[in-house]
Amino acid sequence: MERGTVVQCHADRMSGILLMGVGGGKRRYYFEQAAAQKGISVSFLDWGELLASEGEGESKPGHGEEGALAWEKAWSGEGAPSRKDLRRWVVKIDPPEWESSRLSQLEELTGRYGEWLRRLSRLPGGNFLNHPLDIEEVLDKRRCKERLAREGVSVTKMYGESFSCGEELLAFMRDRRIGQVFVKPVTGAGAAGVSALRFSPKTGRIVLYTCGILEGEEIFNTKRMFRLEGKEGAAFLDSLLKLDCAVERWYGKAVFGEYSYDLRVIVQGGRIDYILPRLSKGPITNLHLNNHSMEFGDLRLDQGTMEGIRELCFKAAACYPGLKSIGMDVLLEKRSLRPRIIEMNAQGDLLHRDVYGENRIYGRQIDIMAEMLKNLPD
Amino acid sequence: MLGLEKAAAANGKMGKSKTYCNDYEDYEEGKNAKTLVEDILNDPELPQLEELIIGGWGEEFDESCQPIIDGIAENADKFSHITKIFFGDMDYETCEVSWITQGDYSSLWKAMPQLKDLTIKGSNDLSLGVIEHENLESLTIICGGLGKDVIEEIAKAKLPNLKKLLLYIGIEDYGFDGNADTIRALLADSDFPSLIYLGITDSEIQDELTEVVLESKYIRQITALDLSNGSLTDKGGKLLLEKLPELPNIEILDVHHHYLSNEMMEELQKLSITVNLAEQEKPYEWNGERWYSAMLTE
């Protein structure tokens, strides 16, 4: 966008780009930097203030109008929008900061966050980079994958059954001759609680790779990978399955050198803005686990594979027209390099390799939001 | 790449190689080790191959590769041109090394008299039987723990042309039920007159094994010494510094994946031989103790 056509955001006009996020975080800093480079200012609302005000008095999650009081209270700063004039704003919703690493609490926090997203969707206006109801749906790995599968998008297979304890899951694996699966809390962010399980029906031996640790009956998320065998693995699995978990097939990932990798693909406004290969020496690939990343071009994938990735991502993005910025985790099957969506993230746009470089992803978001702002009805 | 492989590659002697494996979908369709050997036998390219690489055969964690070994032995004439075989070339996502179910290779020695190079990955249920082979030049076993019984089979082997012996020793939890004396006995009892590459690697008693190797009869015979992927510390490094200058036959020392100090690395670098010092590791500290791990165990 040309500088001259930029829609300026002034408090007195009570319109502009609004970021809901976490004060002092990288997401805010690089988003605002991208905006500043284009001569656009960004208003900011801190999730911390919003969530803190929620506990005061009558404003409880689940009560639309009452919840709105917390909303106005948190947004009461000078020049800040109120719910009454939100229609003049284009809003980007970043995730709040999760203060707990306890998985059961993360489930609860995600539920509370989901309530806020629903509340946001009910407010007048509704000019969102990513619509809150779609953000909420995508946060639920099961719902998101079910929608993708319904629409014929190639995804990593999720088993329909649910399991309340390790023995149930192992019996299922024994019956189906399945040797290895992923177990994922459906509402977990990132790799929280994600575990790769291998099971030998003949010997009963199990091994579990996870970045969680079990203390008592509670699982805590860490940034380290652990390998658990025998009773230790079984106890972890039992505790994990007390949460709402999806069980998925474990596919062998494509290999580059001595690493396996998958791709984080950023699709924004009908375009692929970034593809980041994430390398790992273990079955779980996640940038929070200090895995490596590399330039996509260095993979030297053939044209057919590149086209396959492109088509898959556009098809997946088309399932969520309300999301103008999506981070997709794409697995390339070992040998065939057939792409499959592992999961999607409506807030998976922070890639260090990008923000420390061109800051292309946030720059593009600013362009999209400025365009939306320009097209708002008077 | 060190030693024999490098030489072979440089001379352009690498023949046509093909990998055969069953992936997860093949496995779901009912394919297994038995069908894999049928696929190999029915492959029109088989007569042109020099090397066979056998990847996963399906359910490797429960099912042995025995049908493949047997299938080759039963159809020996169809494999008479194959000089190189790798059984079990798979990464942890297919099956981690400590879960691979291997087989009994007794029948292979007679069935493949032309075989020069054999690599085996995994040591569960592994047996080499009575090894007697005129032409085998290279034997590599990659595993997380090599059983004493297999080590003893190697010690008794009649391999007059064996040039390269590379063993991943591994740890007790995953099958190594011996100690430094087991390796001492292997090196004392075996008779490999052509050996030029000795690899005693991937051990958590790498310092002790360094001493054993340096005291063995092969140390004045070999040109390449491989002590890589283990827990080598300055204790073992010091032994190497003391002994290697007296051993002009040794041209290559591979100790990559080690716990040597910077000072010791500098000293070893000064030796007038090729030294691979890549992958300097740091011990894992926990509860005031330091843990030194081998590269491949699980």
- C-beta atoms surrounding A234 within 10 Å: 18
Q: How far apart are CA B273 and CA B268, in angstroms?
A: 9
pLDDT score of A6: 33
Q: Which residue of A has its CA nearest to B21?
A: A335
Mean pLDDT of chain B: 93
pLDDT at B6 over 60: no
Q: How far apart are CA A375 and CA A357, in angstroms?
A: 30
Could you give the C-alpha distances from A47 to A28, A98, A124, A345, in angstroms and in order? Answer: 12, 11, 19, 19
Of chain A, the percentage scoring pLDDT greater than 70 comes to: 83
pLDDT at B77 over 90: yes
pLDDT score of A240: 94
More confident residue, A241 or A25: A241
Q: Closest to B91 (Cβ–Cβ): which among A179, A201, A255?
A: A255
What band does A31 get if pLDDT is binned at 50, 70 and 90? very high
- CA B115, B120, B124 angle in degrees (round to 5)? 140
pLDDT score of A70: 55
What band does A9 get if pLDDT is binned at 50, 70 and 90? very low
User: Mean pLDDT, to the nearest integer, of B220-249?
Assistant: 97
Which residues in chain B are closer than 8 Å to A342, comparing Cβ atoms? none
Q: Closest to B62 (Cβ–Cβ): which among A200, A255, A335?
A: A200
What band does A74 get if pLDDT is binned at 50, 70 and 90? low
Q: Answer yes or no: do B61 and A249 touch at CB < 8 A.
A: no
Burial class (CB in 10 A: 0-12, 13-18, 19+), B63: middle
Q: Answer yes or no: do B91 and A249 touch at CB < 8 A.
A: no
DSSP character at residue A96: P
Q: Answer yes or no: do A179 and B91 touch at CB < 8 A.
A: no
More confident residue, A138 or A376: A138
Q: How far apart are CA A57 and CA A46, in angstroms?
A: 20
CA of B149 vs chain A CAs: smallest distance (Å): 22
- Per residue in B26-59, pLDDT tens? 887 889 999 999 999 999 999 999 999 999 998 8
Q: Which of A10, A16, A66, A95 is nearest to A366 (CA)?
A: A16
User: Mean pLDDT, to the nearest integer, of A47-69?
Assistant: 56
What band does B251 get if pLDDT is binned at 50, 70 and 90? very high
Calculate the CA dihedral of residues A103, A105, A110, A112 and round it to 10 degrees.
Answer: 170
- Per residue in A125-137, pLDDT tens? 778 999 999 999 9
Which residues in chain B are closer than 8 Å to A170, comparing Cβ atoms? none
pLDDT score of A84: 52
- Per residue in B178-223, pLDDT tens? 999 999 999 999 999 999 999 999 999 999 999 999 999 999 999 9
CA of B59 vs chain A CAs: smallest distance (Å): 7
C-beta separation of B247 from B218 below 8 A? no
Of chain B, the percentage scoring pLDDT greater than 70 comes to: 95
Q: Which of B25, B97, B53, B54 is nearest to A333 (CA)?
A: B25
Of A78-82, A139-143, A207-211, A275-279, least confident by mean pLDDT is A78-82
pLDDT score of B3: 33
What band does A85 get if pLDDT is binned at 50, 70 and 90? low
- C-beta atoms surrounding A327 within 10 Å: 23
Q: Closest to B298 (Cβ–Cβ): which among A179, A227, A255?
A: A227
Which residues in chain A are closer than 8 Å to B24, comparing Cβ atoms? 249, 251-252
More confident residue, A7 or A114: A114
pLDDT score of A201: 87
Q: Which residue of B has its CA nearest to A228?
A: B298
- C-beta atoms surrounding A322 within 10 Å: 17
pLDDT at A67 over 70: no
C-beta separation of A47 from A70 below 8 A? no
Q: How far apart are CA A338 and CA A178, in angstroms?
A: 21
pLDDT at B273 over 50: yes
CA of B135 vs chain A CAs: smallest distance (Å): 32
pLDDT score of B15: 67
Which residues in chain A are closer than 8 Å to B55, comparing Cβ atoms? none
Which residues in chain A are closer than 8 Å to B99, comparing Cβ atoms? 198, 200, 205, 207
CA A355 to chain centre: 17
pLDDT score of B30: 85
Which residues in chain B are closer than 8 Å to A227, comparing Cβ atoms? 298
Instruction: Supply the DSSP string of B253-281, one letter for each residue.
Output: EE--SB---HHHHHHHHTSSSEEE---B-
Of A54-58, A111-115, A218-222, B90-94, least confident by mean pLDDT is A54-58
Burial class (CB in 10 A: 0-12, 13-18, 19+), A270: exposed
Can you tell me the ipTM of this complex? 0.71
pLDDT score of A87: 73
pLDDT score of A47: 85
Q: Answer yes or no: do B96 and A200 touch at CB < 8 A.
A: no
